Every structure is written in C-alpha cells, then in structure tokens.
Amino acid sequence: MLILLSGIIIDIDHFFSNPIFDPNRCSINFHPLHSYIAIFIYFSFLFFKKTRIYGIALLIHILADMVDCYMINLN
C-alpha cells in the first residue's frame, strides 16, 4: 500500500505542471521530482533495506516516463 502510494506521490509532480498532461513533453528532467538529481536519490534508496522498496517503486515510475519519452522521440 505504501509502496503504491510513493509511486502516486511522484505523479503529483505531473499535476503541478501546466498543462497537466502534454503527450509531446518528456517529463524526465522537466519536473523537479524527475530530475537527474532525484533519480540519483531514488537510486541511493536501493542501498538501504528500509527504503529499497520505495526506490524500486520510484525508479519504476521514472522508467515508465522514460519509455514515454522514447515513444515521443520516435514520432
């Protein structure tokens, strides 16, 4: 439940941006929680047993967004 929630929390980032959803925008490095620094922090979560599961959840979200970016670049 908490794991799922952490994946949703990072999505709040998408709601703060204007427009909320733009299919032609890459969210990686656009939102503060999707910056390379943030990704680095999520990655560091993997090294601690207590935060590892959150790191995985957050990195899955980043990965999903990265796939979106890749699809944009193909068009």
39 binding Zn ion? (CB under 5 A): no
Instruction: Give me 19's structure tokens.
Output: 């427009």
Task: Pick the stretch among 1-9, 15-23, 43-51, 59-67 that binds Zn ion (CB under 5 A).
Answer: 59-67
Task: Report the residue number, 36 or 50, with the smaller CB distance to Zn ion.
Answer: 36
**Which residue among 6, 27, 28, 39 contacts Zn ion (CB under 5 A)?**
27
- The Cα–Cα gap between 40 and 23 comes to 25
> Which regions of 26-68 does DSSP assign to beta strands (E)?
none
- Please report how close the Cβ of residue 49 comes to Zn ion at its closest, in angstroms: 25
Q: Which residue has the tokens 């959803």?
A: 21
- The Cα–Cα gap between 58 and 33 comes to 10
Positions in the binding site for Zn ion (CB under 5 A):
27, 65
